[in-house]
Amino acid sequence: MAELQARWHRAIGEIPEAQWQALTAAAGLPFYDWRWLHGLETSGSVVPRQGWQPCHLGLWRDQTLVAVAPLYLKGHSYGEFVFDQSFAQLAGQLGLRYYPKLLGMSPLSPVEGYRFHVAPGEDAAALTAVMLELIDAFCREQRILSCNFLYVDPSWQLLAEQAGCATWLNQQSLWSNDGFTCFDDYLASFNANQRRNIRRERRSIAAAGLTVTALAGEDLSEGMVHRMHGFYARHCDRWGAWGSKYLTEEFFRFAAAELRPNIVLFSAHRGDPRDPVALSLCVYTAASLWGRYWGSSEEIENLHFEVCYYAPIAWAIEQGIRSFDPGAGGSHKRRRGFIAQPRASLHRWQDRGFDRILRNWLPLANAQLLEELEAVNAELPFSRRELPLEAD
């Protein structure tokens, strides 16, 4: 490892796009694409004044990037969706400064898949250990209490745990394509009562004179992505200070120009799909769909369920997509076919006392979380109940 040089990068633009992509492309996640992260930074969405300071760690051999860890210094816990405010409270009680903290995730995106990206042919376990040692040294030098990796890739989780990271389980929702060939197949997985409920909810949208159309590929115009920002901003503004309006209009402009191959809009409309009453934006690959943002200009009962869940599920089935992650939160998702699943975050704390308290608490907290998920899933309105948890 002596020939490797570690560099901390204050902007993803300091790393050539081709080199970043060579390491991250195999993961197949748009949220770690250089263009996605660059767009977040250059649009003003993920910048120091918003509490996000890019701080990416790269390992270089001469002028070649060998490994990279997407990292950010955070001045708060917003936009993460793993709620560590109790950790911050504990730190205060112990007289420790919790912020800033070092964070590994795709900003504002609760999407499983975080990892250190390592070049093919390199020793991933050894480089993971080296990078964690560098991170520990950085945290000690900068007097940073913690480093936190959220929504980690299960295949990388074991390497990080072996190098000393502590695991905390949280919950997420996931729809999986259980061999469905059409929406009726999906409906057949529910008991009779819930099938009636879903059909009634969908009929109410038709009764309101609305049709939902998916816009992707050649059907997706830059203008429609621009319009999506208006719906997103309007929806966030309805919640006032709790609205979580993290993304700027510039990011949507960037997405329209650079990220359209991975974006699908679901337009609820009366007539022309380009004259929407509501829009939802999802991100997709050939295998996966992720629900991200939505908004509407009218208050219509069940409209959210249609444009954010039912229409995307129907489209995913048509496209042969295997899974749909609808985003964070919302117990209402369970009744619509989204199974509660454990998702791991990994943590390192530099204060020994703080570290000891949390590592003693985590096994009990994780066991309780798994029991809770089992109980939640046992109550789901399915006709078949084979609902294994994807726990490692």
Q: Domain spans of the chain?
A: 5-171+341-378, 178-321
pLDDT in tens, 66-77: 999 999 999 999
Give yes or no for residue 261 having a pLDDT over 70: yes
Q: pTM for this structure?
A: 0.94
pLDDT score of 241 more than 70: no
Query: What would the mean pLDDT of 119-146 be, rounded to a whole number?
Result: 97
Token representation of residue 377: 């899933």
Give the model confidence (pLDDT) of 171-193 as tens digits.
Answer: 999 999 999 999 999 999 999 99
Beta strands in the chain (DSSP E): 5-9, 52-54, 56-61, 64-69, 72-74, 101-104, 117-118, 146-149, 166-176, 211-215, 263-269, 276-284, 288-296, 323-325, 339-349
How far, in Å, are 319, 320, 328 from residue 286 at the CA level?
8, 8, 22
Helix (H, G, I), strand (E, B), or coil: what is residue 110? coil
CA-CA distance, 226 to 288, in Å (whole number)? 24
Local confidence band at 332 (pLDDT 50, 70, 90 cut-offs): confident
Q: Which pLDDT band holds residue 337 (cuts at 50, 70, 90)?
A: confident
Q: Which fold has domain 5-171+341-378?
A: Aminopeptidase (3.40.630)
Task: Calculate the dihedral angle through the C-alpha atoms of 183, 297, 334, 292, rounding to the nearest 10 degrees.
Answer: 90
Task: Give the pLDDT confidence of 266-276 residue by residue, as tens digits.
Answer: 999 999 999 99
- Cα separation, 19 vs 292, in Å, equals 28
pLDDT > 70? residue 2:
no
178-321, which class in CATH?
alpha beta
Contact 295, 279 (CB under 8 A): yes
Per the document, the length of the chain is 392
Query: How far is the C-alpha of 104 from the C-alpha of 73, rounded, in Å?
Result: 9
- Token output for 100: 């800033």
pLDDT on residue 277: 97
If we measure between CA atoms, which residue out of 101, 106, 79 comes closest to residue 88? 101
For 217-237, the pLDDT digits (tens) are: 999 999 999 999 999 999 998
148 SS3 class: strand
* 199, two tokens: 């059909």
Phi–psi pair at 363, nearest 5 degrees? -55, -40
Quote the CA–CA distance of 205 and 128 in Å, as a whole number: 50
- Six token digits for residue 6: 């570690």
Structure tokens at 301: 């009962």
Least confident of 38-47, 94-103, 224-233, 327-336: 327-336
